[in-house]
Structure 1
């Protein structure tokens, strides 16, 4: 199982973004990552700044961690590509009935974050059923 360090994740995104801007040849994963960066112009300047790889992002200060956000997008793309947990593709399709794919991914990201946080807080396994239920609940709201 691939388990990169914080530094490796940050280096991956900053180097991929630098290559993309320079017109370099990207690997398929770098292409996927930089396509996600393109959807987030608020991160462009940060990812072009080498010092950002050392930054700490504080929720208390209202800061979003671009590396965490983009990594969650990649994780969700992977989940959708292999339908894991089973049913996530169908739940995603339900979201697409009323919103675009990027907004749908953000809803999934919110559900993923909630279920991970709860599992960590309670010391319990990841609850796939709750995860899918949170996603489906948004699909029915429109």
Structure 2
């Protein structure tokens, strides 16, 4: 199992941004990530300078959202939907997307549920509860 560090994640997204502007070929995973990067132009300054991105502290105390965490969550949700894991996430996402008339808005709602699931798992010291996560998405 691959467990990237926060620096690895930052380099990954900054490199995609660089490749995009240099018109270089992207891997399929990078192309999916680029779709979400493009939908977040507010992150351009963070993605355009890898050294600054590596040095920056995106702690909750700083008051600014972590663009790399945000983009990673979009990518995670896209992968979950693609493989339908947990089973039912694809249908729940499609329903939410239709209701909100926006895949992006649906992702942000799903992101809330994903964050809650991860927080609950870490707090309880238990594996993530996919059923509770899916139910949260369905309720939205």
Unpaired runs of 5+ residues, structure 1, are none
* Cα root mean square deviation, aligned: 1.1
- Paired with 2:132 and 2:97, the residues of 1 have a C-alpha distance of 20
- Report what 1:21 is aligned to: 21
- Report what 1:12 is aligned to: 12
- Paired with 1:30 and 1:43, the residues of 2 have a C-alpha distance of 16
- Paired with 1:14 and 1:32, the residues of 2 have a C-alpha distance of 14
- What's the CA shift string for 1:46-79, capped at 9, x where partnerless? 1002211221102223211111111111111110
TM-score, normalised by the number of residues in structure 1 = 0.92
- Paired with 1:97 and 1:73, the residues of 2 have a C-alpha distance of 18
- Report what 2:57 is aligned to: 56
Moved over 6 A (4+): none
Asked if residue 80 in structure 1 is aligned to residue 72 in structure 2, the reply is: no
- Report what 1:128 is aligned to: 130
TM-score, normalised by the number of residues in structure 2 = 0.93
- Paired with 1:132 and 1:94, the residues of 2 have a C-alpha distance of 12
Give the aligned length: 138
Asked if residue 34 in structure 1 is aligned to residue 30 in structure 2, the reply is: no
Structure 1 residue 11: Cα displacement = 0.7
Unpaired runs of 5+ residues, structure 2, are none
- Report what 1:109 is aligned to: 111
- Paired with 1:105 and 1:91, the residues of 2 have a C-alpha distance of 11
